[in-house]
Amino acid sequence: MHIPESLQELAKSEAVQFLRRPKTIMRVFEGVFSLIIFSSLLTDGYQNKMESLQLHCILNSNSVACSFAVGAGFLAFLSCLAFLVLDTQETRIAGTRFKTAFQLLDFILAVLWAVVWFVGFCFLANQWQHSPPKVFLLGSSSAQAAIAFTFFSILVWASPQPSPSSDLPSPSQPSARAFLPTDIPGLPSIPGPPK
């Protein structure tokens, strides 16, 4: 393993360039938001009422609401981790067919998760609105956090995620000269302004 000797050398390293990509930053946000959603409801989302020992979901005692948020959050977190690992290998993928399939799958999953989080936000907010106040002693902040981060997840998953293309220069490479119509062979050059 190479240890950088200066901060400039560290900033130019492949790992730092990967972490600075907008797509990587969005994946990290997606994963963190999903982690917050499922962990907040998993830890404080199920509580017992004062008169019984049975656990109930704090969202209107609807266990489907808590199960949906925990399950969707966990699966979204796993998909973020899987695509983050695949993103690290994206530059090493040689076949354009596999690269195209990967980008198509990435797009389809982003749309799917944006729809899932939209439905989840509407469902969780509705269940929270119909929850009777002061039934559970704890957990209201966890429910509110899950609802808020479900809304933020809609924005993060629906945001456009640029994918690096092989025909565009990478940040580490110098930018190429602009393509001009005069560069096309066989076309006459464009005359300049009259003298």
With tokens 């699966």, the residue in question is 75
Q: pLDDT by residue (tens digit) across 133-161?
A: 776 667 678 888 999 999 999 999 998 76
Query: Which 8-state DSSP code applies to residue 174?
Result: P
8: phi then psi, degrees, rounded to nearest 5: -65, -40
Q: Specify the pTM.
A: 0.73
Q: What is the pLDDT of residues 159-189, one digit of tens each?
A: 876 655 443 444 444 444 554 455 555 555 5
- Amino acid in the structure at residue 7: L
